[in-house]
Amino acid sequence: MPLNRVLLIGGSGNLGSLILKYLLASPSHPTTSVLSRRSAADTQYPSGVSVVEIDDDYPSAQLVGAFREADVVISAISMAGMHHQHKFIDACVEAKVQRYIPTEFGLDDLPQWLLNLRPMFKTKHDIRDYLASKEHTGLTWTSICCNVFFEMGIENGFFQFHWNEKKAILIGDETIRWPATTLSTVAIATVKVIEKEEPTANKILLIRDFLVSQKDILDEIQNRTGKWDVEKRELDPWLEEAKENVKQGHNEGLPRLTFAVARAAGDWSKKENFANSLLELPRKTFDEEIERVLRSMQEKR
Ligand SMILES: NC(=O)c1ccc[n+]([C@@H]2O[C@H](COP(=O)([O-])OP(=O)(O)OC[C@H]3O[C@@H](n4cnc5c(N)ncnc54)[C@H](OP(=O)(O)O)[C@@H]3O)[C@@H](O)[C@H]2O)c1
């Protein structure tokens, strides 16, 4: 059955607001609603979007009530809220929602050492298992993994470019390339899942725009903004420092741990579940996207 009625959770967020934009532009014209916490009541949404408010702890009865009007529920909730997803899935089953798209949108494989250090990361994989366990109810699901968000990785220091000090920390072999995806591609992929509901059912789909290395990015940054300080670090001691920081209960080391995993992700394009073609995603190049990101950062400064 076509997925005509969409309910989006986290539609005010970095990714959610873009998913909303592409839902409204979709040629299949789904009826689009947003489920938003009461504490975020001031958020302005585009016209044509109905807003369903919910208590901040997402009570099950309110979820079921909201989900009864939906064929598909998309969760673009923040990491801080992703543990609520077991309730979202139970409510999907009760309300007879056809498709659930969980808040994945990141790494595909999570190594055991990372899960041991921060069990929070396991939530995304637990949710995959939970969804598989609910397939017999008729609920279908699609997970989208994009490794890293390209723009955010450059802007927020995740790729180790520290803008305030104009300093780059190059980790191990700085020419190693990893998959990166722009936010708009992730959002388009999410909407395409709804338009192509059959071939995307009960699958983890891997997407990426291009492969990129720290050296690729640094070269472009320096072309545009002049010389940067560069510190070179061996991977193992740099990662061990971060693990130690996290073991002591701090959070500053967490991005280093996830960047270390993301940069080891490999190519993806040869993997069976690589889905750029299936989802008919636009072709983007590193050259064009880095130009766009750096120009936009300069305009904001
Ligand atoms: N691969 C990457 O590099 C990368 C980078 C960043 C994020 N991600 C992933 O992308 C997904 C969405 O992330 P995002 O950055 O778009 O999320 P975000 O902007 O931080 O938050 C999305 C929405 O979640 C809702 N929310 C519910 N509980 C919340 C809480 N306790 N704190 C804050 N917001 C809460 C809010 O919507 P309402 O206010 O409307 O309720 C918020 O607008 C997550 O799965 C995240 O792990 C991936």
- Map out the domains of the chain with their CATH numbers: 5-148+180-208+268-281 (3.40.50.720)
Query: For residue 104, how far is its CA from the centre of ligand 1 (angstroms)?
Result: 10
User: Which atom of ligand 1 sits closest to the CA of residue 16?
Assistant: 16
Residue with CA at minimum distance from ligand 1 atom 15: 14
pLDDT at 150: 98
32: exposed, middle or buried (C-beta count within 10 Å: 0-12, 13-18, 19+)? buried
Query: For residue 76, how far is its CA from the centre of ligand 1 (angstroms)?
Result: 6
User: Which atom of ligand 1 sits closest to the CA of residue 34?
Assistant: 40
Query: For residue 11, how far is its CA from the centre of ligand 1 (angstroms)?
Result: 9
Residue with CA at minimum distance from ligand 1 atom 21: 78
pLDDT at 41: 74
Please work out, in degrees rounded to the nearest 5, the angle formed at the alpha carbon of residue 93 by the alpha carbons of 56 and 115: 65
d(CA 235, CA 237): 6
pLDDT at 121: 84
Which of 15, 146, 184, when mutated, tests ligand 1's pocket best, judged by the most ligand atoms within 8 Å of its CB? Answer: 15
d(CA 129, CA 132): 5
pLDDT at 118: 83
Residues of the chain with pLDDT under 50: none
pLDDT at 301: 78
Residue with CA at minimum distance from ligand 1 atom 29: 81
How would DSSP label each residue in 239-276? Answer: HHHHHHHHHTT-STTHHHHHHHHHTT----TTSTTB-T
Query: For residue 170, how far is its CA from the centre of ligand 1 (angstroms)?
Result: 28
